[in-house]
Chain A
Amino acid sequence: MSTANLWCGGVLSGVICCCGLSTAVAEVGAPLAVTQQVGIVLERMANALHTLNYEGTLVYLHDNQLETLSLLHRVFQGQVQERLISLSGSVRAVAREGERVLYAPPDGQALALESPGSGHILATEGIDPAALGMHYVIRLLGTARIAGRDTDVIGIIPRDALRYGYRFHIDRETALPLKSDLIDQQERPLEQLLFTNISLLPNDGSTPTPAAHSLRTAPVTEPSSRWRFSAVPPGFQLVMHRTLPQADGGVTEQFLFTDRLCAYSVYVEDASAEGLDGSANIGAVHAFGRVSAGQRLTAIGEVPAATVAAAVAGARTTGGTE
């Protein structure tokens, strides 16, 4: 089996290189032209992430911790198979085959679920930069070298503190993002991921089944529920509401909000259920919960703490009871 091995070289020197170089590039072109250029590059990236077969090792910098991860992505007979494993500390893994996702923490409480869509460990759908202009600044930051490879640098910078943005270093040859930063409004990196090596694997000629729907184009919806959400964080809209039957016979409602890039869900369940009171986070993922009108509300997503808190604070029942 032949493989094309793309070496990204020294890990930390790569981090240092790209941090230094990314400040040396500048916004270029007129807004419309920039948007179009960025759209093309992001489309290439999404297509590469979705259709190529590859495996690699990544360095993940978060919360002042440095970790190594192993990633595999391949398409076999039209089915996407993915695996992400922590190589540092205790063994954790997320695996996917088709629409089945398995999360295996080291404590043995594995979690498996069937995905209603066809999400993937890496990107499956392109970002539509034209739809993000109200809440993000889109920038073509130029080019940078990541450990010897030429990349196009794209910035999607949030205009306020209610959402996160991204900075991608996209390999010119393969269109894979060799480095991805999660950034805040001041463009400070909250989390950074860097491939230290990627091996491109041969594929069987099949292409992955396309997603049934795209959140980026999902229509705004109204919940068929007694719950309504006022004072939603600016830019976020409700795009999905569904009920989830629970093992104990109860029902949990899920309300999904997005600004077309970031997203959070609000879950509503019986107040007797064990739940979060106040806020919690793992890295940039925040959650906020409280009991209201006899039910427990929990908002969760990769958004700032203020966003999930506001999401819960704005929840009302149709009778006007908080």
Chain B
Amino acid sequence: MKQAQQSFAISKQQLSALYDGELAAPEVPLLLDAVAADATLRTTWERYHLIGRAIRGDTSELVWHEVAERVQTALAPAPLPVPRQQTMRRRASAWIGLALAAGVSGVVVINLLPTLESSRATARNLPVVPVLTERWQLAQPTLAHKLDRLLVTHQETAPAPTTKGMLRYAAFVSHDEHR
């Protein structure tokens, strides 16, 4: 019991260091293993993030962060269409107004979803990338990991595509096979 408490305390210190960008790279995988396996550590991680924002006075970020999770949960079973730009422009002022009135932008998305889904014009312009249920849509984790490795190697030997901006590595940290 005492050993588990010590281990948890060490992990919390490491989480703090990770948040500050001061955790040594070799320690990151072990820490993330611990975080993945421990709901309390995950909560701690999120709390550090929220505290950091609060200290900087980024209070609207606090609101957004909570809403992001709710939006994701709410939208998980139903696709969120990326509407045609013309459709967006026609309704933009109304949406912005709703966003301002609601004070929480995520709520607007949830409220607008039925409207978007009922729009034929919008339905014709859904994103061309299919909805994913598993990473690489593969049942074999080892094969998915191998494709990750091939992709990371590709990305690192092709530095020019970094001009894509932040899109380069976002897929690595965002696509979650457990979702």
Residues of chain A at the chain B interface (Cβ within 8 Å): 3, 5, 7, 9-13, 16-17, 19-24, 42, 46, 49, 57-72, 74, 81, 83-95, 97, 100-113, 115-127, 166, 168, 177, 180, 182, 184, 187-193, 196-197, 199, 211, 214-216, 240, 242, 244, 254, 256, 258, 260-265, 267, 274-276, 280-285, 287, 298, 300-302
Contact = CB atoms under 8 A, between A and B. Distances in A.
A65 B77 CA distance: 10
A113 to B, nearest CB: 6
Contacts of A94: 169, 172-173
B51 interface: no
Given A23-B85, A92-B173, A265-B153, 12 more contacts: A19-B85, A24-B89, A63-B127, A63-B131, A68-B65, A111-B145, A115-B156, A121-B169, A125-B162, A180-B165, A276-B143, A282-B136
B68 interface: yes
Nearest to A187: B85
Contact of A17 (B49, B64, B96): B96
B51 to A, nearest CB: 14
* Majority-rule SS of B interface residues: helix
Given A66-B68, A105-B148, A263-B161, A95 B25 contact: yes
A23 B32 contact: no
A103 B172 contact: yes
Interface string B63-82: 01100110110010001111
Contacts of B1: none
9 contacts: A60-B170, A66-B68, A89-B178, A93-B173, A103-B148, A117-B159, A199-B56, A214-B159, A267-B150
Given A62-B174, A64-B81, A102 B28 contact: yes
Interface string B82-99: 110110110010011001
Nearest to B109: A12
Contact of B157 (A117, A126, A285): A117
B156 A116 contact: yes
B173 A86 contact: yes
Nearest to B15: A91
Contacts of B178: 89-90
B152 interface: yes
A57 B49 CA distance: 11
Contacts of B171: 62, 191, 282-285
Interface in B18-59: 21, 25, 28-29, 32-33, 35-36, 42, 45-46, 49, 56, 58
B52 to A, nearest CB: 10
Nearest to B156: A115
A62 B125 contact: no
Contacts of B150: 265, 267, 287, 298, 300
A298 B150 CA distance: 9
B161 A262 contact: yes
Contact of A64 (B79, B125, B135, B163): B79
Contacts of B75: 64-66
A260 B95 CA distance: 39
A87 B161 contact: no
Contacts of B4: none
Contact of A261 (B36, B56, B82, B160): B160
B28 A95 contact: yes
A211 B56 CA distance: 35
